[in-house]
Structure 1
Amino acid sequence: MKINKDKITKNIAFFVFDQVEVLDLNGPLDVFVKANIIVPNSFNCYTVALDAAPVFSESNTMQIIPNYTIDNCPQADLIIVPGAFPETVIKLFKDEQFESRLTAWITTQAQSDTVIVSICTGALLLSNTKLLDRKAITSHFMITDLLQELNPNSKVVTGPRYIDEGNLVTTAGITAGIDAALYMVTDILGKDVAQQIIEIFEYKSDLQIH
């Protein structure tokens, strides 16, 4: 993963939108929150939306008031793009205003060496950014065929929990976002911190902490 490890506190932006999948968002977020408790000031985590209005998680179960909009948020070191139910993500992808604004923001941020991380079906929302081109990528099994169709220059791989392509990390479905976040914490802060988080979570995983 290509991230500036010399920077003491890394900005992590969590993109939120209406009907976002809760665990796609909160799983990785809680990994970084716990890492920040273990190693204070390692991460500055915040939510970002297209607009300042509150959004709701899947089935309208939780209201999220974004910390920032894409127009006023700090420059991020990592951007986490969670997914949603496939029909929701496909609808958003076809929403020209939503997709064009998200694509412009992601593209601009990526030009400043920001690492872009898609969780689950969130990969679909990156299809117009060109960041997926000529890379191995993964996503939830329910959308891998469509993801390949929309990204013919990419290689969609099923099986891995996550794939690291340097400036891009993609994950498989839902809980794979936790594994990817643990991997990123390992890369940035070391395996001991990641192992402590696994123990705090009481998380059962095949993830190998190297």
Structure 2
Amino acid sequence: MPRRIGILLYPDFQLLDAAGVTAAFEIADAFGDGAYDTTPLSRNGGLIRSSSGMALETFPLAKEGSFDTLVVVGGEGHKAAMACPELQAFLRYQAGAARRICSVCTGAFLLAAAGLLDGRRVTTHWQQAGALKARFPELRVSSDAIHIHDGSIWTSAGISAGIDMALALVTEDLGADIGRRTAQQMVVFYHRPGGQSQFSALLEMGSTQERFADLLGWIRSNLKQRLTVDILASQVGMSPRNFSRSFRTSVGMSPARAVERLRLEAARERAERSTLPIETIAVMTGFHDPERMRRAFLREFHQPPQAVRRNANGSPN
């Protein structure tokens, strides 16, 4: 029997959140010989208008029973949808009936409002991560992950991250070969690891304040060096004390944290895209000690460098 996939929509949903996930299951269904039966859902059924103005035909919740996998999409209408008793009751029912409950982008807010994410590690679009944590402090919100799998709950960041999550679900169900063929048909990366950064650390920090943009670029080009506060302050012609205070105010983190973020990003890129020994990568990126780099990876990505490399290559071992 095909696995039933429900795609939950509501007024002003994000069209691409729904379309990307649906397309992944559709293509995998063709390769998997009828593996999936995908159903768009809404409270009362009928045409549901997306935030773009385009509408999709849906089936009513009351007539659709349970699903193998339920995906809740994001969109501008998520706040109103959170307050809908029928949607909340449906989500709670599916939490006990479905094998997996998933969200794309701000769809995580609906799952949180239904009490399905309490105590779990979750993600959403980085711009909404602070709001999700503030409203639901019992959640362990990661603002940087592409998608996160915690038990039967999967959460993902915006739009393209929903496709990454769907491909991970397909691979879990049907194996790496069909997952890879589905990605090739969609012309997307087959395996973008869930813990990978949603955005460049350099862009994130540089966009906050142009004052230190050149310094951040210099740091990224000199990661192998010792990068103390005194050295960085000298680079911009400031006293260490004034530099530390100004940098934190402008960039939103301490100089030491910024250096570590840039080192982590560079080390991750090398771990995923090269065959260099982990010890060599630690030296090249300024960690020097592989154990120090491993601890930093565990704090930031919740997995050691070797696991990051295996995941990037789609290898289970």
TM-score tier, shorter chain, comes to 0.7 to 0.9
Pair 1:53 & 2:53 matched: no
Does the 8 A contact of 2:46 with 2:60 survive in 1? Answer: no
| 1:15-54 equivalence runs, <5 A | 15-54=8-47
1:90 positional shift = 2.5
Question: Which residue in the other structure is 1:163 paired with?
Answer: 148
The aligned amino acid for 1:119 is: V
TM-score (normalizing by structure 1): 0.88
1:74 to 65, 69, 94: 65
Question: Which residue in the other structure is 1:63 paired with?
Answer: 55
Q: Which moved more, 1:51-60 or 1:129-138?
A: 51-60
2:118 to 133, 149, 159: 133
The aligned amino acid for 2:55 is: Q
Question: Per-residue displacement from partner, 1:107-144 (whole Å, max 9, x unpaired)?
Answer: 01111243110001110112222110010000011211
Secondary structure (helix, strand or coil) at the match of 1:48 reads strand
Question: Which residue in the other structure is 1:3 paired with?
Answer: none
- Where do 5+ consecutive residues of structure 2 fail to align? 193-311
Over the residues paired in the alignment, what is the CA RMSD in angstroms?
A: 1.5
Question: Which residue in the other structure is 1:179 paired with?
Answer: 164
1:205 positional shift = 6.4
Does the 8 A contact of 2:14 with 2:52 survive in 1? Answer: no
Name the count of aligned residue pairs. Answer: 195
Question: Which residue in the other structure is 1:9 paired with?
Answer: 2
Take 1:205 and 1:83, find their aligned partners in 2: how far apart are those partners? 23
1:52 positional shift = 2.3
Identity value in percent: 25
1:38 positional shift = 0.4
Higher relative contact order (CA 8 A, sep 6+): 1
Take 1:48 and 1:92, find their aligned partners in 2: how far apart are those partners? 13
Question: Per-residue displacement from partner, 1:18-60 (whole Å, max 9, x unpaired)?
Answer: 1111110010110000000001121111111100231111221
Does the 8 A contact of 1:9 with 1:41 survive in 2? Answer: yes
1:75 positional shift = 1.3
The aligned amino acid for 2:13 is: V
Question: Which residue in the other structure is 1:118 paired with?
Answer: 103
